[in-house]
Amino acid sequence: MKAIREALMAMGLDCSLFVGHSFRIGAAAVAAQWGVQDSLIKTMGRWESTAYLCYIRTLREVLCGATAAMTGQTEGWKEGSRRS
């Protein structure tokens, strides 16, 4: 954490706003976005429970695309478009 604090200070950021847990949460979220298996995320984050699932968020684009695919409205779909 010392090296991270020094890097944050070098960038002019308030390092008191960042704690080790922030990076653990961020790593879980990024790993999920990259398709890393849940069991690996849990192991690498040293979680003994399923608490890590609270930190994994599905990107809006993925949700919209899945909805469009499920409703058969994939043609012409783009982020932010609304179809009825």
Q: Tens digits of per-residue pLDDT, 25-53?
A: 888 888 988 889 999 999 988 889 988 88
Residue 56 is given by DSSP the state: -
Residue type, 67: T
Whether 44 is in a domain gets the answer yes
Residue 34 included in any domain = yes
* 41 contacts 28 by C-beta, under 8 angstroms: yes
pLDDT at 42: 92
Domain carrying residue 22: 2-57
- Evaluate whether residue 25 is within a structural domain: yes
**Contact assessment for residue 55 and residue 28, using Cβ atoms and an 8 Å cutoff:** yes
The answer as to whether 67 is a domain residue is no
Q: How many structural domains comprise the chain? A: 1
Cβ proximity of 70 and 44 under 8 Å: no
**CA–CA gap between residue 47 and residue 55 (Å, rounded):** 12
pTM for the complete prediction?
Answer: 0.54
Domain for residue 38, yes or no?
yes
